[in-house]
Every structure is written in C-alpha cells, then in structure tokens.
C-alpha cells in the first residue's frame, strides 16, 4: 500500500512537471539574445588618473562572441538598469544612477545587426542602433530627486572584421562627456586578459 502511494505521488509530480510551460533557451532566439536579467559584475574604484573621481563599471550579459549572431546582445528597452551607491553604510541607497535604452532599426524588414561593412557610427549599414539615457537620483531610488544627466550612443558590437573592418578606429574609446564632469560608456567591450 505504501509503495503504491509513493508510485502514485511520483506519477502525479511527473505529470505536473509536464504541464509546466517550457520555452527554448537557444542562443539564437531573439528574446534570449536581449535577456536583461544577467547582471554579472559591478566595480567601483577611485580613478587612478584623477583621484577626485570614482569609476563605476556594471557588466551585463557576458561572453558575447562574434559567432553568436545574428541576434547580438543589447540592452533591453523595457528594463531600468541601476547602479546604487550607499555612502553611509545604512543599506539604503544615497545615490542611484539609472539607465534606460531605446533601440532603433534602420531597416525593420531585416533582423540583421548590420547589412554590410560598417565604417562609422552613422553608417547606414549599421541596422541596430541604441541610445542610452542616464539620470541621477539623490536619496532613495523610488522617492528621491531625479535629475536627467544626458544621453549617449551605445557603441556597436565588434561582430567580426568583415562586418566591422576597423571597429576600434571607428568608435575610438566610445567615452562620452556628460554635464557635471561625468563621462559614460555604454556598449560591449573585450575583457582584459590576465596573462
């Protein structure tokens, strides 16, 4: 009798698992390619060149390879990305930097990232373009005072030499100047190699 109940319980659990909706997690699926939830690292350090400045680096969606297309990683237009700073150790944010993004397609008839070799940021062959908007919130991030700081273009992914023949020359450092002496970069970059 006990064994019969155990077998019935296992069969019921297996039946419930089958009823749970399943979805593909293949890398080429468009919604997976823009998965906004993968925040991998946040760094903060005093700038070694300018000791009066602090540098923040927030990484999202790691390990992008040129062969991972045709849907390359990008910031999600429906996500509010945040970096929160607690200056007094009370576990409540004192300053929050908030980032929103907007994506534009030059040619909505194709899903391709680029339609030919891209040589400049305004090249018509760069099909997927993003703009990042940053604000600073003083006080708690949901009730504090929010001030827009500006916007920057998101640097394109270096998806290979055939698509981006001279990516580093094309985008330079990609660092944009914002009001108040702030600088911002948004976009994919190579991780430094530890050799």
Number of domains in the chain: 1
- H-helix segments, 35-97: none
Environment class of 39 (CB within 10 Å of its CB; exposed 0-12, middle 13-18, buried 19+)? middle
**What proportion of the chain, given as a percentage, has pLDDT over 90?**
27
The confidence score (pLDDT) of residue 63 equals 59
State the pTM of this model. 0.73
Instruction: Tell whether the model's pLDDT for residue 109 goes beyond 70.
Output: yes
Which pLDDT score is estimated for 137?
96
Is 146 part of a structural domain of the chain? yes
Please give the pLDDT value at position 17.
Answer: 43
Mean pLDDT across the chain, nearest whole number? Answer: 78
Using the structure block, give the residue that is written with the tokens 């990683």.
Answer: 73
For residue 1, pLDDT beyond 60: no
Q: Of 69-83, 104-118, 146-160, which range is least confident?
A: 69-83
Distance of CA 9 to CAs 16, 17, 20, 195, Å?
Answer: 11, 12, 17, 54
pLDDT top residue among 146 and 19: 146
Check residue 41 and give its pLDDT. Answer: 79
| 112 has a pLDDT exceeding 80 | yes
Whether 167 is covered by a domain: the verdict is yes
Highest average pLDDT, of 109-113, 150-154, 165-169, comes from: 150-154
Quick: pLDDT tens for 30-84: 555 555 556 777 888 898 888 888 888 888 766 566 556 666 778 889 889 999 9
103 domain-assigned: yes
Is residue 130 assigned to a domain? yes
Q: Please check whether residue 6 lies inside any domain of the structure.
A: no
Q: Which residues contact 67 (CB under 8 A, 6 or more apart)?
A: none
Tokens 């969606």: give the residue: 61
Q: Quote the domain boundaries for residue 153.
A: 24-184
Question: Which residue from 126, 98, 129, 96 is spatially nearest to 114, judged by alpha carbons?
Answer: 126
Can you tell me the distance from the alpha carbon of 66 to that of 158, in angstroms, rounded to the nearest whole number?
7
| Between 108 and 159, residue with greater pLDDT | 108
> Sorting pLDDT into bands at 50, 70 and 90, what band is 149?
very high
């Amino acid at each position: 009798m006990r064994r019969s109940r155990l077998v019935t319980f296992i069969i019921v659990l297996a039946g419930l698992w089958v009823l749970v909706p399943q979805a593909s997690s293949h890398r080429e699926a468009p919604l997976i390619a823009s998965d906004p939830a993968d925040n991998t690292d946040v760094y903060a350090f005093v700038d070694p060149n300018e000791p009066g400045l602090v540098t923040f680096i927030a990484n999202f969606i790691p390990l992008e390879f040129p062969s991972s297309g045709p849907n390359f990683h990008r910031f999600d237009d429906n996500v509010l990305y945040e970096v929160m700073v607690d200056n007094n150790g009370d576990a409540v944010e004192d300053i929050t930097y908030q980032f929103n993004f907007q994506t534009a397609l030059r040619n909505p008839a194709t899903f391709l990232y680029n339609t030919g070799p891209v040589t400049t940021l305004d090249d018509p062959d760069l099909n997927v373009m993003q703009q990042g908007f940053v604000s600073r919130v003083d006080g708690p991030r949901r009730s504090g005072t929010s001030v827009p700081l500006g916007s920057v273009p998101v640097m394109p992914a270096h998806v290979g030499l055939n698509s981006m023949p001279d990516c580093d020359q094309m985008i330079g450092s990609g660092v944009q100047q914002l009001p108040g002496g702030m600088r911002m970069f948004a976009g994919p970059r190579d991780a430094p190699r530890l050799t």
